[in-house]
A and B are shown apart, each in its own frame.
Chain A
Amino acid sequence: MNVESRKKALRYQFEKVVDPLGYKFSPDEELVDFLLEQEVFLERKHGIPYCPCQGLPKDREGRMKLVCPCIPFHREQFDYMKCCWCLLYVHKDVTDTSGLRQIPLSEIPAAGLKRG
């Protein structure tokens, strides 16, 4: 499958996963296109479309938490940011992404967050 077809397939597949989680693809189409392309390359390299914006750890459990869409494993952080770390997915109520920021877990003001 060529890159464009695989990007389309991933987009279709991911949309079905993130919708019930309250997320949608970013309205920034250029960003979405770039990120999906990187995921196709990561899938070709590793066999799995990992998050392009997080470094892969050595352990399998840690890697599984970075399979896109990784929202369920970073729920509190991403809900606070209103987007995932890459900004590939945003909360359904987000229409303008200009105010969104990457906020590290250590700066999320919520008690009891687990690092992963």
Chain B
Amino acid sequence: MKRRRFGELEIIAHVLRSDPLSMFALAIILIIIFTAVFAPLIAPYKSDIWGTPRPGYKFLPPSLSHLFGTDYLGRDVFSLVLMGARISLMAGLVVVTLSLLIGCPLGVIAGYFRGTALDETIMRITDMFLALPPLLLAIAIAATLGYSLTNAMIATAISWWPWYTRLMRAQAASLRERPFVEAARGLGVGELPIVFRHILPNSLAPIIVQATMDVGSAILLTSALSFLGLGAQPPTPEWGLMVNLGRTYIRNYWWYATFPGLAIFVTVMAFNLLGDGLRKALDPRLRIIRRLL
């Protein structure tokens, strides 16, 4: 009989399973991913997703045939919201991935070579970007690049990466002192291989937690940019854009602004709950439990 080793993943899975909120959040996220992938197939009004107007059906209130009502050109809001899941999820993933790709290598290098000029430069640049509230920098960049969803994603990623650099730096700096790193150095392994084969993989855990929650925050930020008119343009069914377009009509046709915003709320909340659960699961105290096992 093989002795089972409790890997990190198993611990995480175990802890998560016992936390009902996190399981709930995970379920919601899976539903959202499913919606994002299959939106064009499951939407009740398939042509509406692509922006085809439907004259004569303008601003119908929510009903059985139109769950979330219709918009200013008669399109079914429920179908639009489903499609928006794809756009928002893509935006969130792209932003986080870009930020990770930029921020992590920089952070690992800064942390490993801590105290040197390289570290100082990287940290000063990071500070410069951190000096601005995220939305503001994103606004400035998006205003420059032009108003589109791609540019909004780029702008958000540019204002986001410093956080990962900071996090990675702290991780890398603490890992640097660990025995296994010293051993590797003693064996004559070069600096860069140490950084990327030993330090980077082992510092991923808190990054993953942060990244999970950040998908939610990235969705919030890109939809905020679209809300201001700097991101996706009509007729893209992006949630933030729909909330903005619906603003003029909140007195008489409240559904057009309400439901997309609700979708944002539910999505971001699910990611945050999951991230919170993951954080508890990766709590260092649990490592003690693992060693005891």
Bound pair (A, B): no
Chain A interface residues toward B at CB < 8 A: none
Chain B interface residues toward A at CB < 8 A: none
